[in-house]
Amino acid sequence: MKSFGTGLNTAVFGASGGIGSAFVTALAAEDSVTRVHAVSRGAVDFASSKICGHSCDPLDEAALGQAVALMTEDGPLHLAVIALGILHGDGIAPEKTWRHVDADVMGRVLAVNTIAPTLIAKHVLPGLAKGRKTALAALSARVGSISDNRLGGWVSYRASKAALNMVIRTFSIELARVNREAMIVGLHPGTVETALSDPFRQGVPEGKLFTPQHSVEGMLATLDAIGPDASGKIFDYAGVEIFS
């Protein structure tokens, strides 16, 4: 994280998830980081004194605004990560055919994967420090690439991540006008050993199923390597750009 400098005020949204908690732990271990704001719907305990927990539903915009205000009351943010995501759950499963599309399910997936990150970005981007490298990164997915879609299926999840990619691109244009050294990017973590991927690991090639720690290490290295000219783009855990 050398390219970000020192004295970093950071935040992780979705801190209770497998990837989110790995981001919190990794950032707290960085000497350059002075504070990690760990945001989740429920209370989460972390060992490091650097970590400050916040309980907030990102779809509750009033509560979200208050949480971001608390994070920035002693200074602006330098790095924020949005690690929210839903693929399956209570009554939710990836569609195998258009016959399985359900309006309620699709709305719930879009709410978590697209609307919540959009609202977080709305409140976080104005609070990024100016005059130095800063970033907001949101977890996207390779299956959100329109040009890379050769298999079909997974309509709601694909659509939610494709929409998120468009939000990232759109916000990057406005961000460049007001904060030239800041960036907003999407990150594809790969297939990670978390609850999200649990039912879908059978066909994963050998060596392509990652621990959360390994995936986060790659994504942080990618953020360290890129700059404002990468704003609006989507990258995988190895730093390779994914085309929408």
DSSP string, 219-239: HHHHHHH--GGGTT-EEETTS
Backbone φ/ψ region at 121: left (φ over 0), alpha (ψ -120 to 50), beta: alpha
> DSSP string of 31-67?
TTEEEEEEEESS----S-TTEEEEE--TT-HHHHHHH
Q: Which residues contact 86 (CB under 8 A, 6 or more apart)?
A: 92, 108, 109, 112, 113, 196
In this predicted structure, the answer to whether residue 208 has a pLDDT above a threshold of 80 is: no
Q: What is the per-residue pLDDT across 2-49, written as a single tens digit (0 to 9) for each? A: 999 999 999 999 999 999 999 999 999 999 999 999 999 987 788 899
Residue 153 has pLDDT above 70, yes or no: yes
Banded model confidence at residue 197, pLDDT cuts 50, 70, 90: low
C-alpha span between 147 and 48 (Å, rounded): 42
**Residue 169 CB neighbour total at 10 angstroms:** 17
pLDDT at residue 206, as a whole number: 62
Label residue 141 by pLDDT band (50, 70, 90): very high
The Cα–Cα gap between 235 and 226 comes to 10
pLDDT-derived band of residue 237, with 50, 70 and 90 as boundaries?
A: very high
Q: Could you give the CA distance from residue 186 to residue 196 in angstroms, rounded to a whole number?
A: 18
CATH number at residue 178: 3.40.50.720
Q: For residue 200, what pLDDT is reported?
A: 65
Structural domain total, the chain: 1
Domain of 21 in residue numbering reads as 2-242
How confident is the model at residue 44, as a pLDDT? 78
- Torsion sign across C-alpha atoms 40, 42, 43, 45: negative
- Number of other residues whose CB lies within 10 A of the CB of residue 72: 19
As a whole number of Å, the end-to-end CA separation of the chain is 27
Question: Cα dist. 169→152, 163, 164, 206 in Å?
Answer: 24, 10, 9, 33
C-alpha separations of 56 from 1, 43, 244 in Å: 27, 9, 31
What is the DSSP pairing of strand 134-139 with strand 33-40? unpaired
Mean pLDDT of the chain: 94
pTM of the model: 0.94
DSSP-derived secondary structure letter, 89: B
* CB distance 228 to 172 below 8 Å: no
